[in-house]
Amino acid sequence: MLIKNIHGTAERLPIGYDTWQDFWEKKTGEKAKGDVGGHVKKVDSYDNSWYIADITHAQNSLTEPYEYFSKLAKLHD
């Protein structure tokens, strides 16, 4: 799927989670392989929800959309 980063959101960690990667792992039930849990939105979708993606530092700095092949953890159920 195609996703795009949402920047300026790292400080809004929900209560009960140590990091955004911790949030992603607990929501998806998988072990993170990337460097960070990054805030993203789906591109070309009617879904305007925010998600956490297990991504690398390099992916987290991208300003253009990119392909993502793992699970997303929805922020606000």
The DSSP annotation for 30-67 comes to: S---SSEEEEEEESSSS----EEEEE-HHHHT--S-EE
> What is the model's pLDDT at position 52?
96
> What is the model's pLDDT at position 27?
96
Q: Whole-model pTM?
A: 0.92
Structural domain harbouring 40: 2-74
45-67: b or e for each residue (b if 16 or more CB lie within 10 Å)? eeeeebbbbbbeeebbeeeebee
> What is the model's pLDDT at position 6?
93
Q: How far is CA 77 from the centre of its chain?
A: 14
The count of structural domains within the chain is 1
Cβ–Cβ under 8 Å, residues 20 and 13? yes
> What is the model's pLDDT at position 30?
97
pLDDT along the chain (77 residues), means of 10: 89 88 96 96 93 96 96 88
